Structure 1
Amino acid sequence: MIFTRESIESAKRTVYAAMPPTPQYNWPLLKQALGFDVWVKHENHTPLGAFKVRGGLTYADWLRRTHPDVRHVISATRGNHGQSIGFAARQHGLKATVVVPHGNSVEKNAAMRALDVELVEHGEDFQASSEHAAVLAKRDGLHRVPSYHPELVRGVATAYVEFFEALRESPPDVLYVPIGLGSGITGASVARAHCGVKTRLIGVVSTLAPAYQKSFQSGVAIDAPATTAIADGMACRSAVPEALEIIRREVEDVIAVSDEEVASAMRLIYTSTHNVAEGAGAAALAAAIQQNDRWGGKRVGVVLSGGNVDASVLARVLKNEQ
């Protein structure tokens, strides 16, 4: 996936018409806990509390220009992608339907409804919801927004362009990025090429949703159960072949973190920065902690990709009762 310099600059203009850049901070207490500089990219500070809004904005802008007759879009999500579609659809006067699995985050569902999204609950996991969205799109003549698409990646890449440009004088040696369906990690690779930095990229999955790790290791897209209880943003059962191709070419490794490691990272983020991280949002830090013996004297980047965690879940995590 190759984007021109102008296409990335265009994505930045589209994103910044709706939101400012998000910050990156080197928190002293994180350095004290891990033993090296940790730069956190705060995508929990977007208008929707997660990085996905960027891709929704660029996808909707592309859709308006290339498919002007579309009036109603549909997609599937565990939450943040659906919010991004609702947010961008409302900007362009489109109707939006989003399919979520039963038992999805109560607060993410409420956030989508607040964006005028018509919410449909179907299936026990994301994959089942995605398949149902395809059925509804065909039945009702709706435009189906995929969860992975070059236009989503183009928007998401702007987060990492900000990160690398802000740290241009001394870029991090490594950047950890959580993997759901792949727009984050592939967006980071696009941004790295755009900015001309040599930062290593390491993808992070859940031990209870290892499809991308298994696919990365084998070289072919592999399905695997997705049963993580806390990192719903990484609860992906099937690797996307187009994303996998880029990941295998651009990413040094894909490692897995447990729900317990994620919960511990959520607590550390809260106590060290007073930011709230959802499970997937804390996965990058969990991975850096797991591999902290590799990075003495180095500079490490992690993305706090989202902070949309239900209050009841956060309360259990902070009490170490997950």
Structure 2
Amino acid sequence: MTLLPTRAELDAAATIVYGAMPATPQFSWPLLNEALGTDAWVKHENHTPTGAFKVRGGLVYLAGLLKREPGVSGIISATRGNHGQSLAFAARRHGVKVTIVVPHGNSVEKNAAMRGLGADLIEFGDDFQASREYALSLARKQGLHMVPSYHQDLVAGVASYWMELFHAQPALDTVFVPIGMGSGFAAAIAAREALGLRTRVIGVVSSHAPAYLESFRSGELREAPATTELADGMACRTPDRESLEVVRRYADDVIEVSDEEVARAIRLYYRATHNLAEGAGAAALAAALRLKHDARVAGCRVGLPLTGANVDAEKIMRVLSEVLP
């Protein structure tokens, strides 16, 4: 059985996080509320040092790893970008060598950001799963520590932003959480359970990468193609078994949003808040817009994590050039 971090573990993780960054803000934006027809609070994880929520998990994971394995020679992991940036950011603080494997065609600017943080970047495979398998093989050959996409320390670190939001707005009725490999979703659940809240937690996947949705509905792990062109942070082909257990046990629901809906949410975020959101970063808003007439949104107080802003300039210019309906 997968265990969630305890309140004590969440508090200890938060201390590590705040040694490297401040809490991020949450705002309720009038034009966004108008579009949704209800009160929404946006948690601005686009304001972290790496522009995404993942940095919190990387900080806590590296701190724990160095206690468990003080002589670690280096770390390696696979990513579409934000997980890799978080590890590179944390590893640089500790002087640890980091290697990151990304699939071919990965975000040019996320690749540049990882290199800028000191990561040795390798491009391999056509999707995240292929990159992950190659990273595992390199870890064995080179004696590197393979950082997983899902781990208790990652969850505990990421949960610090949910604790911030729930402390600031404890009366939220529903929150939407994008699902990539599941650490963000598990973090929301861990914070909710630690605080004893009754807030609905709804997972969000890309309709072009529905593995977690199909697994949630079927009750067993299902693979599915990941073909999203906009929400690369949710481009999962094979769910993580531990995080899937959390989703299946605790999710009030899991819904899907298309690239078109995500693009519409990106445009709305910019028009209503003048914040840029990457595809996965806007998925929670896309889901809330889809359910705006549903009882879980209409008349409710809604929490929307803007989980990241790391989108290539060329891609964001194409998205923003479309007319907002």
Q: TM-score, normalised by structure 2?
A: 0.97
Per the alignment, residue 201 of structure 2 pairs with 201
1:147 to 133, 146, 149: 149
Per the alignment, residue 162 of structure 2 pairs with 160
Task: For residues 66-88 of structure 1, give each alpha carbon's deviation from its aligned partner in whole angstroms, at most 9, with x where no partner exists.
Answer: 11110200000000000001011
The answer on 1:187 being equivalent to 2:187 is yes
Task: For residues 176-228 of structure 1, give each alpha carbon's deviation from its aligned partner in whole angstroms, at most 9, with x where no partner exists.
Answer: 00000000000000000111211000000000000000000011111000000
Mean Cα deviation higher: 189-198 or 258-267: 189-198
Deviation at 1:34, TM superposition (A): 1.1
Contact 2:210–2:256 (CA<8 Å) still a contact in 1? Answer: yes
Q: How does 1:174-253 map to 2 (within 5 A)?
A: 174-253=174-253
Deviation at 1:43, TM superposition (A): 0.5
The answer on 1:27 being equivalent to 2:29 is yes
1:106 to 105, 108, 121: 108
| Matched residue type, 2:309 | G
Contact 1:21–1:162 (CA<8 Å) still a contact in 2? Answer: yes
Per the alignment, residue 89 of structure 1 pairs with 91
RMSD value, Cα: 0.8
Distance in 2, matches of 1:196 and 1:319, equals 43
Per the alignment, residue 302 of structure 2 pairs with 300
Contact 1:220–1:241 (CA<8 Å) still a contact in 2? Answer: no
Deviation at 1:118, TM superposition (A): 0.1
Distance in 1, matches of 2:259 and 2:6, equals 38
The answer on 1:123 being equivalent to 2:125 is yes
Distance in 1, matches of 2:298 and 2:232, equals 31
Contact 1:206–1:258 (CA<8 Å) still a contact in 2? Answer: yes
Q: TM-score, normalised by structure 1?
A: 0.98
The answer on 1:62 being equivalent to 2:64 is yes
How many percent identity over aligned positions? 60
The answer on 1:280 being equivalent to 2:301 is no
Per the alignment, residue 317 of structure 2 pairs with 315
Q: How many residue pairs align between the two structures?
A: 319
Mean Cα deviation higher: 192-201 or 180-189: 192-201
| Matched residue type, 2:270 | Y
Per the alignment, residue 269 of structure 2 pairs with 269
Per the alignment, residue 18 of structure 1 pairs with 20
Deviation at 1:296, TM superposition (A): 2.1
The answer on 1:4 being equivalent to 2:11 is no
Dislocated runs of 4+, deviation >3 Å? none
Deviation at 1:298, TM superposition (A): 1.1
The answer on 1:41 being equivalent to 2:30 is no
Deviation at 1:92, TM superposition (A): 1.0
SS in 1 for 2:21: coil
Distance in 1, matches of 2:322 and 2:222, equals 33
SS in 2 for 1:3: coil
1:50 to 29, 49, 52: 52
Task: For residues 127-160 of structure 1, give each alpha carbon's deviation from its aligned partner in whole angstroms, at most 9, with x where no partner exists.
Answer: 0000000010001110000111111111011110
SS in 1 for 2:212: helix
Deviation at 1:248, TM superposition (A): 1.1
Distance in 1, matches of 2:4 and 2:126, equals 35
Contact 2:73–2:143 (CA<8 Å) still a contact in 1? Answer: no
Contact 2:107–2:312 (CA<8 Å) still a contact in 1? Answer: yes
Contact 1:107–1:309 (CA<8 Å) still a contact in 2? Answer: yes
| Matched residue type, 1:87 | F
Task: For residues 86-141 of structure 1, give each alpha carbon's deviation from its aligned partner in whole angstroms, at most 9, with x where no partner exists.
Answer: 01111111000000000100000000000110000000100000000001000111
Distance in 1, matches of 2:125 and 2:119, equals 18
Distance in 1, matches of 2:204 and 2:298, equals 20
Structure 1 residue runs without a partner (length 5+): none
Contact 2:109–2:311 (CA<8 Å) still a contact in 1? Answer: yes
Distance in 1, matches of 2:107 and 2:231, equals 11
